């Protein structure tokens, strides 16, 4: 389904859309307050961009260095060309130790590879331990935001879900009570887990270590209690040196939620006592994206979600309208690289206002890339009949001033004279939720010329 159709579904509940819009704008505002306190913020963004650009230009070398160091640290390293191979690797690790219960902290990569349904089909229980992810998991939905996975759900919906699945008392959506109950529920899962899966925020080539950031502490609760820790990462998560964490950890949380740093920034390097540690390095289309000069900078992304919070389209259409693991502006430049036809409407889900590029902590030119995808999509995928015809007609009208003048006069007359039912009739989708203004008698051109003439008359 197209982005606009799915956005239409989200917009059926107007009150919810208003709340969603305001809640995310508030997060954007917190980001502003936070970054304005940092001296040299722009320099920090330049460094973030520069370090990532350098790393991509040397990616194979750094990955090999990372692998060699991780092996020295006693960590097993696996490589997966695509999502299927990733899932099979994870499954084989679990199977080897007969692990049946898995706790997982936030990892957009495992969402992208559809790991949960794969493991569940193989009789393995997977519990998402980030509260927001647990909520959407219980609702049998997908995260609608990469940092705030359950931002599309209100507290009463969470209340009902917990009553049904965790046996909680009705509480009118009291967040304190519900979080406390989730804590008890997840503690049980952590204590009895056979294996823990985490994502990776940054993997460090020089020492083979990796960093995971959470506010809840769920990644560490899982990874330290279970006898197996599997960390899954995309190839682009690598950074050359530990000192570069100084840049990225300063950028990440401030851009995401306005916090100066997440509560926990965990640096894993050697396995703990009695723990087997595995790292799965995944390509799944990233090497292809690297080959596209116009779009490779999308691989700089550190998954802060700032572009979503600021986007006027995302805030009003909801994350699920993108029908992709990574929604919002950054998702709209990543997804077409994976499947141009399926995601052909996403680059159009933007006003091209450029706010996403302004807040991006690693200075990805998101709105420019959205524009560039539109050029490609216009040529390579079939466009709707009406759009094609109207674009061709517009092209003719705009290229001939005399024709433009005539059409303008007719349009102004029509807007003054014709009934609303006719003006707003299909195929004018603009008229679906708004009225066009009453057509003025004069065109701007006529008005301007008359004004200039009057000025001259006045001067005489």
Partner 1 sequence: MDSRDTILKKLKANKPEFIALPKINPAVFDENIDKVKEFIRKTEVAGGKVFEVTDNKEVLSKTQEAFPETKVNFSNLDDSGFFNTIDSESFKNPHELNDLDVLVLESTLGVAENGAVWLTDNDIPVRVIPFITKHLVLVLPKENIVPYMHQAYSAINPMDLDYGIFISGPSKTADIEQSLVIGAQGAMSLTVFLK
Residue closer to partner 1 (CB basis): 3 or 86: 86
The single residue among 6, 124, 135, 228 that binds partner 1, judged by CB under 8 A, is 135
Q: Are 353 and 310 within 8 A, CB to CB?
A: no
Residue span 203-242 as binding mask against partner 1, x where in contact by CB under 8 A, dash where not: -x-xx-x-----xxxx-xx--xx---------x----xxx
Nearest CA among 261, 259, 216, 282 for reference residue 84: 282
Exposure string over 250-278, b if 16+ CB within 10 A, otherwise e: bbbbbbbbbeeebeebbebbebeeebbbb
Q: Within a 13 Å sphere around the CA of 418, how many CA atoms are in the beta-carbon half?
A: 16
Number of chain residues interacting with partner 1 (CB under 8 A): 95
Q: Which of residues 292-311 bind partner 1 (CB under 8 A)?
A: 293, 296
Q: Are 179 and 215 within 8 A, CB to CB?
A: no
Residue whose tokens read 């690297």: 290
Residue span 61-100 as binding mask against partner 1, x where in contact by CB under 8 A, dash where not: --xx--------------xxx---x---------------
- Cβ 247 to partner 1, closest distance in Å? 6
The single residue among 164, 169, 243, 435 that binds partner 1, judged by CB under 8 A, is 243
Residue span 137-166 as binding mask against partner 1, x where in contact by CB under 8 A, dash where not: -----------xxxx--xx--x--------
The single residue among 131, 301, 349, 362 that binds partner 1, judged by CB under 8 A, is 131
Residue whose tokens read 């979600």: 305
- Phi, psi values for residue 383, rounded to 5°: -100, 155
Sign of torsion, CA 113 117 120 126? positive
Q: Which of residues 332-361 bind partner 1 (CB under 8 A)?
A: none
Q: Which of residues 32-61 bind partner 1 (CB under 8 A)?
A: 38-40, 43-44, 46-47, 50-51, 53-54, 56-60
- Cβ 147 to partner 1, closest distance in Å? 10
Residue closer to partner 1 (CB basis): 22 or 95: 22
Nearest CA among 369, 376, 363 for reference residue 306: 363
Q: Is residue 170 within the footprint of partner 1 (CB under 8 A)?
A: no
Those residues with Cβ within 8 angstroms of residue 204's Cβ, 6 or more apart along the chain or in another chain: 66, 210, 211, 238, 239, 240, 241, 242, 244, 245
């Amino acid at each position: 389904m197209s982005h606009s159709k799915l956005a239409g579904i989200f917009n059926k509940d107007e009150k919810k859309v208003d709340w969603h819009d305001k809640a995310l704008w508030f997060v954007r505002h917190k980001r502003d307050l936070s970054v304005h306190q940092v001296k040299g913020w722009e320099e920090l963004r330049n460094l973030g961009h520069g370090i990532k650009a350098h790393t991509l230009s040397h990616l194979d070398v750094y990955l090999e260095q990372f692998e060699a160091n991780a092996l020295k640290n006693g960590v097993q390293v696996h490589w997966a060309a695509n999502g299927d191979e990733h899932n099979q690797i994870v499954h084989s690790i679990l199977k080897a130790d007969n692990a049946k219960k898995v706790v997982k902290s936030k990892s957009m990569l495992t969402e992208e590879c559809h790991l949960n349904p794969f493991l569940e089909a193989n009789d393995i229980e997977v519990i998402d331990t980030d509260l927001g992810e647990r909520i959407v998991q219980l609702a049998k939905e997908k995260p609608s935001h990469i940092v705030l996975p359950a931002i599309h759900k209100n507290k009463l919906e969470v209340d009902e879900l917990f009553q049904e699945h965790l046996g909680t008392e009705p509480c009118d959506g009291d967040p304190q009570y519900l979080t406390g109950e989730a804590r008890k529920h997840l503690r049980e899962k952590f204590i009895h887990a056979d294996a823990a899966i985490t994502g990776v925020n940054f993997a460090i080539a020089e020492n083979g270590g990796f960093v995971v950031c959470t506010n809840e502490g769920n990644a560490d609760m899982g990874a330290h209690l279970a006898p197996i820790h599997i960390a899954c990462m995309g190839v682009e998560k690598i950074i050359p040196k530990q000192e570069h964490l100084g840049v990225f950890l300063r950028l990440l949380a401030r851009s995401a939620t306005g916090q100066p740093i997440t509560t926990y920034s965990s640096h894993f390097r050697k396995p703990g006592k009695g723990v087997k540690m595995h790292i799965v390095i995944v390509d799944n289309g990233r090497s292809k994206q690297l080959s596209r000069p116009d779009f490779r900078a999308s691989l700089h992304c550190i998954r802060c979600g700032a572009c979503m919070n600021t986007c006027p389209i995302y805030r009003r259409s909801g994350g699920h309208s993108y029908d992709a693991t990574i929604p919002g502006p950054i998702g709209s430049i990543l997804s077409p690289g994976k499947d141009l036809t399926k995601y052909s409407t996403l680059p159009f889900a933007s006003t091209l206002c450029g706010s996403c590029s302004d807040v991006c902590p690693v200075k990805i030119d998101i709105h420019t890339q959205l524009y560039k995808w539109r050029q490609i999509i216009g040529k390579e995928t079939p466009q709707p009949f009406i759009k094609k015809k109207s674009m061709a007609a517009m092209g003719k009208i705009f290229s001939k001033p005399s024709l433009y003048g005539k059409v303008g006069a007719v349009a102004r007359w029509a807007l003054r004279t014709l009934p609303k039912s006719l003006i707003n009739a299909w195929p004018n989708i603009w008229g679906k939720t708004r009225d066009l203004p009453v057509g003025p008698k004069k065109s701007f051109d006529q008005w301007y010329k008359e004004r200039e003439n009057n000025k001259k008359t006045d001067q005489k």
